[in-house]
């Protein structure tokens, strides 16, 4: 696996692939890689000739009260996993190359509508940081395909909207969430749970599945479904920010006429805030 730390270096590899008419799948990450990331790489590899992963803990997407400095950085293990997965190239940009004048002066990409609610409301500025760095990375890499995990469903939709709104020439693929045997969504944050919390966290997906089942069976009183789910989560000791049944494209609260739904949830155990979702198709 090749490693590049500068745009110039990276573009040399990319040019070589372009000369050989090889397509490129790009998987942007912040490192601390796990099975979920590996499934993104695998998906990219199934679609393109070459796979490229970036590792960059993007300061612009962290709020002032979020701990950018303590975000887990596990480069050796990340590189070993990428190598084992057969990733062709890893890009390790530096903050000074991506943000030469610091964060204050950089042009910002603000994706409208989709960023007003849920994680956007909970983490002001977060999606501007994500969209800005992803657009920069797309312009540097110019991939044919880029793969995003649907576990961060809102992020996946925000990136898809940015690509559509700005006519970017890259195909965005949403990859299904990787789960533990218990149903718990694989996440870097799971490492902060103790054993008891890890067992309990599996309830999040069970409650999502129950709600999805009720909707598939004809339930259309979505606010009542949400209230029942929130009550179950709270009873089990979770602190929830939202459990919301939405239109899967607009992320607006779903109505009875919507056919493609997603249920978005965050549920915290102690200081660990877990995100999950489930899609429901009523076609
Ligand atoms: O999902 C992530 O890891 C990050 O938000 C991303 C897409 C790599 C941008 O920094």
Distance 204 CA to ligand 1 centre (A): 23
**Which residue matches tokens 């999040």?**
204
Mean pLDDT of the region 66-95: 96
Mean pLDDT of the region 33-47: 98
**How many structural domains does the chain have?**
2
Ligand 1 pocket mutation, candidates 39, 56, 58, 120, criterion most atoms within 8 A of CB: 58
**Catalytic-role residue among 20, 34, 37, 213:** 37
At how many degrees (to 10) do helices 153-165 and 126-141 cross? Answer: 60
Mean pLDDT of the region 19-31: 98
* Catalytic residue check, 213: no
Per-residue confidence (pLDDT) for residue 54, from 0 to 100: 98
Burial class (CB in 10 A: 0-12, 13-18, 19+), 106: middle
Domain assignment of residue 283, yes or no: no
Mean pLDDT of the region 80-103: 97
Mean pLDDT of the region 117-143: 97
Alpha-carbon radius of gyration of the chain: 19
Mean pLDDT of the region 13-29: 98
Supply the mean pLDDT for the chain: 97
Mean pLDDT of the region 143-154: 98
Question: Is 186 in contact with 34 (CB distance < 8 Å)?
Answer: yes
Closest ligand 1 atom to 134 CA: 9
Same domain, 164 and 201: no
Which residues in 110-170 belong to E strands, given as ranges? Answer: 145-149
In percent, the amount of the chain with pLDDT more than 90 equals: 98
Name 46's Cβ contacts closer than 8 Å, sequence gap at least 6. none
Q: Name the CA dihedral angle for 201, 120, 69, 31, rounded to a multiple of 10 degrees.
A: 70
Same domain, 158 and 209: no
State yes or no: pLDDT of 170 exceeds 90: yes
Q: How sure is the predictor about 242, in pLDDT bands with cuts at 50, 70 and 90?
A: very high
Q: What are phi and psi of 41, to 5 degrees?
A: -65, -45
Q: How sure is the predictor about 246, in pLDDT bands with cuts at 50, 70 and 90?
A: very high
State yes or no: pLDDT of 175 exceeds 90: yes
Nearest to 98 by CA among 106, 108, 86: 106
Domain assignment of residue 87, yes or no: yes
Same domain, 89 and 42: yes
Angstrom distance (rounded) from CA 189 to CA 197? 12
Mean pLDDT of the region 135-163: 98
Same domain, 85 and 200: no
State yes or no: pLDDT of 243 exceeds 90: yes
Tell me the pLDDT tens digit for each residue of 209-236: 999 999 999 999 999 999 999 999 999 9
| Domain hosting residue 204, numbered range | 188-278
Domain assignment of residue 155, yes or no: yes
State yes or no: pLDDT of 65 exceeds 90: no
Tokens in use for 140? 């540097």
Mean pLDDT of the region 18-30: 98
Per-residue confidence (pLDDT) for residue 91, from 0 to 100: 98
Domain assignment of residue 48, yes or no: yes
Q: How sure is the predictor about 67, in pLDDT bands with cuts at 50, 70 and 90?
A: confident
Name 188's Cβ contacts closer than 8 Å, sequence gap at least 6. 32, 34, 72
Domain assignment of residue 226, yes or no: yes
Domain assignment of residue 183, yes or no: no
52 CB less than 6 Å from ligand 1? no
Nearest to 75 by CA among 32, 40, 137: 32
Strands 260-269 and 89-91: unpaired
147 CB less than 6 Å from ligand 1? no
């Amino acid at each position: 696996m090749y490693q590049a730390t500068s745009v110039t270096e990276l573009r040399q590899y990319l040019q070589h692939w372009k000369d050989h008419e090889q397509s490129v799948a790009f998987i942007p990450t912040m490192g601390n890689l796990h099975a979920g990331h590996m499934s993104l790489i695998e998906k990219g590899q199934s679609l393109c000739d070459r796979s490229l992963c970036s590792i960059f803990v993007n300061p612009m997407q962290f709020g002032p009260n979020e701990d950018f400095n303590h975000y887990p950085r596990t480069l050796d293990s990340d590189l070993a996993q990428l190598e084992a997965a057969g990733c062709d190239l890893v890009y390790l940009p530096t903050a000074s190359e991506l943000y030469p004048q610091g964060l204050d002066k950089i042009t910002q990409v603000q994706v409208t509508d989709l960023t007003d609610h849920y994680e956007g409301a909970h983490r002001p500025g977060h999606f501007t940081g994500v969209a800005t760095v992803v657009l920069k990375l797309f312009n540097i890499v110019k991939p044919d395909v880029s793969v995003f995990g649907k576990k961060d469903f809102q992020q996946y939709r925000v990136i898809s909207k940015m690509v559509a709104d700005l006519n970017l020439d890259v195909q965005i693929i949403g990859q299904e969430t990787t789960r533990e045997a218990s149903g718990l969504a694989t996440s870097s944050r799971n490492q902060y749970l103790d054993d008891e919390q890890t067992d309990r966290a599996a309830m999040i997906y069970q409650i999502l599945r129950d709600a999805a089942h009720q909707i598939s069976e004809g339930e259309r009183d979505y606010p009542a479904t949400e209230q029942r789910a929130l009550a179950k989560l709270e009873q089990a000791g979770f602190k929830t920010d939202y459990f919301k049944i939405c239109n899967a494209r607009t992320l607006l609260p779903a109505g009875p006429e919507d056919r493609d739904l997603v249920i978005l949830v965050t549920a915290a155990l102690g200081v660990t805030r877990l995100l999950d979702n489930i899609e429901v198709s009523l076609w």
